[in-house]
Amino acid sequence: MSVTWEEYLTVPEAKARFIECFQRCRGAFERHRENIRNLVETTSPGIVACLGAGVLNDIPYRTLAKSGAKVHLVDWLAGSSDVGISLSLIEMDDGEQPQCLYCDVSHDSPEEFCLNYRRSNGSADKVCDSFELSQCDPPTCNAFVKGDSPSVHYEDVTGGYANEFGQRLLHEMRDARTWERAFSKATKLAGRIKPTGRLSIDDASVDLVTSSMLVSQFAHEPYNFFAARTAERLGAPTPEHEARLLPAMEKLRSALFTHQVERHLDEIQRILSPGGKCYLSFELFSTIPQSHQWFMVEGVPKALQAAGDRFHFNFDAIPESESIAQFQTRTGRSLTLCVVMESKPIDK
């Protein structure tokens, strides 16, 4: 039995993997946290939606929670943002005493954020009576049970496009006996999908949307799901065969990337309030592994074109020096564009 799309998106030993991802990647995303922090401070949004929030490595969650904004966190990996929240709550003060973001006495309604909150009798306490320290890195509270806020949505940020492709793929490919046929069927499917799904966030309601390091992911999924399922059924192609398949491969990857970017930007356009802002960041260039040579990341011109069709770019909203971020990846270096976008009036 082949792995279904839903099974594919279910991370094994999820909690441990998400914690490991937080510990490993947090440093690389500091620039995005700083940029979003600046935007929250300068624009005081009432409602914020972080798309592709994952474990919140690039989301300044403490700033968002303290700002009083209503926060939506969206990712399709179930459990990821819940783990990110629990890892963002506890900080040690200068005297190495724990302080909890939600238990802070200045917080209006801690019960809305933690169901286990029990007011402390010591007025200077920075943790509540339920607090139980877990000495992991970063420290967490064992007693934390998430309340109604923030709103966490385990949903597809491409308005259901990627999910529908993944769900229909196995059926579509059931008769494909060659790689050529599999590519052809998958590419036709990619062009046929007209998703009607949408995030469970109201139209024109969000003052600040973040789409941080998300668009770059559309080059990988659900293409990798297709490649893995096809290799399972037909065996991996030889290097010579793979070279011949290259044009078909490019065609499918490009179709999936373009449709996902467009549907994602449509969703941002739908939920953004009049006068709202969107922080968008994605990789422009990367180095070839073990080399100093840079190449342009797949899909960059298309992503910029699709963004420019729907939004105005605002290069004054974050400091000029922060608009391009360079960071170290596992295999080399990467250059990222960080830009703020604002709605254009929609043509009637």
Ligand X SMILES: C[S@@+](CC[C@H](N)C(=O)[O-])C[C@H]1O[C@@H](n2cnc3c(N)ncnc32)[C@H](O)[C@@H]1O
Which residues of the chain form contacts with ligand X (CB under 6 A)? 21, 52-58, 75-77, 80, 156-158, 162, 212-214, 217
Q: How far is the CB of 80 from ligand X (least distance, A)?
A: 6
Instruction: Specify whether the CB–CB gap between 38 and 279 falls below 8 A.
Output: no
**Smaller CB separation from ligand X, 38 or 57:** 57
Q: How far is the CB of 304 from ligand X (least distance, A)?
A: 19
**Smaller CB separation from ligand X, 12 or 235:** 12
Q: How far is the CB of 191 from ligand X (least distance, A)?
A: 18
Q: How far is the CB of 164 from ligand X (least distance, A)?
A: 11
Q: Among all residues, whose Cβ is closest to ligand X?
A: 54
Whole-number Å distance between alpha carbons of 336 and 2: 36
**Smaller CB separation from ligand X, 137 or 320:** 137
Q: How far is the CB of 34 from ligand X (least distance, A)?
A: 14
**Smaller CB separation from ligand X, 109 or 200:** 200
Q: How far is the CB of 260 from ligand X (least distance, A)?
A: 7
Q: How far is the CB of 158 from ligand X (least distance, A)?
A: 5
Q: How far is the CB of 93 from ligand X (least distance, A)?
A: 25
What is the 3 state secondary structure string of the chain? Answer: CCCCHHHHCCCCCHHHHHHHHHHHHHHHHHHHHHHHHHHHHHHCCCEEEEECCCCCCCCCHHHHHHHCCEEEEEECCCCHHHHHHHHHCEEECCCCCEEECCCCCCCCCHHHHECCCCCCCCCCCCCCCCCCEECCCCCEECCCCECCCCEEEECCCCCCHHHHHHHHHHHHCCCCCCHHHHHHHHHHHHHHCCCCCCCCCCCCCEEEEEEECCHHHHHCCCHHHHHHHHHHHHCCCCHHHHHHHHHHHHHHHHHHHHHHHHHHHHHHHHHEEEEEEEEEEEEEEEECCCCCCEEECCCHHHHHHHHHHHEEEECCCCCHHHCEEEEECCCCEEEEEEEEEEECCCCC
CA distances for 281 relative to 34, 308, 322, 339, angstroms: 13, 14, 11, 6
Tokens representing 216? 């770059």
**Smaller CB separation from ligand X, 185 or 259:** 259
**Smaller CB separation from ligand X, 34 or 125:** 34
